[in-house]
Structure 1
Amino acid sequence: MPISIDACVAQHQGDRREQQDRVAILPHPRGGGVALAVLADGMGGHTGGVLAAQQVIHTARDNLERFSARTESARTLLESSINEAHMLIKASRFINEKDPHSTAVMMLLQPGKVSWAHCGDSRFYRFRGDSLIFRSTDHSYVAQLVVQGRVTPEQALVHPHRNILLTSLGGVEAPKIAFGEADELQVGDTFLLCSDGLWAYFTDQELAWVIDGASSAREASELLIGRARALGNGDGDNISMAILKLVEAPVPEQAAVPGAGVLLASQPAK
């Protein structure tokens, strides 16, 4: 069955003075059904976070342009993109006299396979229909408490130290990177990359219900932003997300190339 991608990136500044998140879906310049989704949540005072997040996107784009799926592994691409962005962000301290940091979450989609990596508390989700298949574990102090059984996931959402990260890009130490990979993709699979400005207001199941119930990735992003803004109650963080839904593609009259896929990108109003 030919599969297409219904994809959307969306952002909202929330109630912050500036938008320090950056997000993009980048098709491989040579096609082949390869695309890279990237999201970064910048930190570091006025403009510092913006510069850090932009560096993550730029580095990922440059590495994707040189990436060959035939000779290189997805993990190598993801790992090098995060580590190179880290070094460039770290070096920018001396140029801009800022203290820039950023999270990063990336997902490389290839025919029949998806690979991902993250550092920090920006998340990667994989859903099948309205069921959660996988969710990344935050590199944060509170997430560690949850893993240790010292607090519940519900308590973590309101914990006073929930914003303390254990690792990030641009810090003194090399970033800790978590990787994952899955194959056997099928129609009904959906992938979500998002910053904490979104996931902080939803349970995993609520995210699954909204995305599965929406008619498109664009509609899902608009619903999620609307609900997050309402729940933020005037104190909402920057919101950013990328949604990629695998949908059945109409079979053309001529023979389709198995697993080729089509990237359909849209973006709702900010």
Structure 2
Amino acid sequence: MPFSAETCVALHGGDRAEQQDRVGLFPHPKRSGMLLAVLADGMGGHSGGAMAAEQVLIRARQNFETYAPRYETPDSLLASVIDEAHLVIKLTRFTSEQDPHSTAVVFLLQQGKAYWAHCGDSRLYHFRGPSLLSRSADHSLVGELQRKGRLDAADALWHPRRNVLLSCLGSERAPRIEQGREETPLAGDVFLLCSDGLWAYFSDAELGATLHELPPRAAAERLIGLARERARGSGDNLSLAIIKLVSLPSPAPVPTARG
């Protein structure tokens, strides 16, 4: 069944002095039916994190503008955004006193198929109705401990080293890039990109129910409001992008001429 996409992007500074998250949504300038969403959570001292996250958006937009599906695969596009942003961020360390780093999540909708890639602990969720189909794996210390069965989800939220990343953009090591895809998305599917300033306050079930019940803008407003309440004055920057697939209306029947 054909579908269209309803979308929303949102940012909130939380209780931080500076907004170091970045999020963007870009249609392809020449090809219809293609959409790129990107989210980055910057780290690295005053203005350093913001600069790092901004580089992710710049690289995503530039690479998408020159993307030619006939000669380049979706996976290579997404990987190039993360790899090239990593190199640019890394180079800035030699020209400033900062130590900038960033996470990255990049999502591509192309010809009715969905592709994504990420590095760090910003997440990509894929819901079908209110049910979770997939969620990206956090490249963090607590994420690794959870995968090894040494930490449960509840304890991970309060672990003293929950902000330690094992991979990110701008570090000495090449970024760990994990990719996913959905070859047959359906109307009713929702893709959520978000930073840890948002997902830390919600279960998968609560996110899925909210995104299923509400259109993207109303869902974003509710999630940000609840995250702010639950942060109790100590909230991080938060950002999100919502891509909700909705059915296209059936074309009206063509009247039959009568002789």
**What TM-score does the superposition give when structure 2 sets the normalisation length?**
0.96
Deviation at 1:166, TM superposition (A): 0.1
Per mean C-alpha deviation after superposition, the further-off stretch among 91-100 and 227-236 is 91-100
- Please give the residue correspondences for 1:160-239 in structure 2 after superposition, counting only pairs within 5 Å: 160-214=160-214, 216-239=215-238
Q: How does 1:1-270 map to 2 (within 5 A)?
A: 1-214=1-214, 216-251=215-250
Matched residue of 2:93: which SS? helix
Q: 2:221 and 2:166 mapped to 1: Cα distance?
A: 31
Deviation at 1:71, TM superposition (A): 2.0
In structure 1, how many angstroms separate the alpha carbons of the residues matched to 2:116 and 2:135?
Answer: 11
Cα offset, 1:182, TM superposition:
1.2
What is the alpha-carbon distance in structure 2 between the residues aligned to residue 195 and residue 136 of structure 1? 12
| Residue pair 1:2, 1:251 contacting (<8 A) in 2 also | no
Deviation (angstroms), 1:29:
0.8
Q: Which amino acid aligns with 2:203?
A: T
| Structure with the larger RCO, 1 or 2 (CA within 8 Å, 6+ apart) | 1
What is the letter of the counterpart of residue 178 of structure 1? E
TM-superposed deviation, 1:252: 5.2
State the AA in 1 paired with 2:243. Answer: L
C-alpha distance in 2, partners of 1:254/1:95?
A: 64
Q: Secondary structure at the match of 1:94?
A: coil
| Residue identity matched to 2:225 | G
> C-alpha separation between the residues in 2 aligned to 1:20 and 1:253?
48
Distance in 2 between residues matched to 1:193 and 1:61, nearest whole Å: 17
* TM-score (norm. length: structure 1): 0.92
Q: Which has the larger radius of gyration?
A: 2
Unmatched 5+ residue regions in structure 1?
A: 256-270
Q: Amino acid of the residue matched to residue 77 of structure 2?
A: L
Question: Which stretches of structure 1, 4 residues or longer, exceed 6 Å deviation after superposition?
Answer: none
**In structure 1, distance between residues paired with 2:242 and 2:207:** 11
**Structure 2: gaps spanning 5 or more residues:** 255-259
Aligned to 1:266: none
What residue identity is the alignment partner of 2:194?
Answer: C
1:196 Cα offset (Å)? 0.1
Q: Give the RMSD, CA atoms, in angstroms.
A: 1.3
Q: In structure 2, what residue type is equivalent to 1:228? A: A
Structure 2 letter corresponding to 1:229: R
1:37-59: CA deviation from partner (whole Å, max 9, x where unpaired): 00000000000000000000000
Aligned-residue offset at 1:98:
1.2
Conserved in 2, the CA contact under 8 Å of 1:127 and 1:189?
yes
Q: 1:250: how far off?
A: 2.5
SS in 1 for 2:240: strand
Counterpart in the other structure of 1:262 = none
Deviation at 1:32, TM superposition (A): 2.4
User: Which one-letter code corresponds to 2:221 in the other structure?
Assistant: E
Report sequence identity in percent.
56
Cα distance change, pair 225–237 in 1 and its aligned pair in 2 (3 A): same
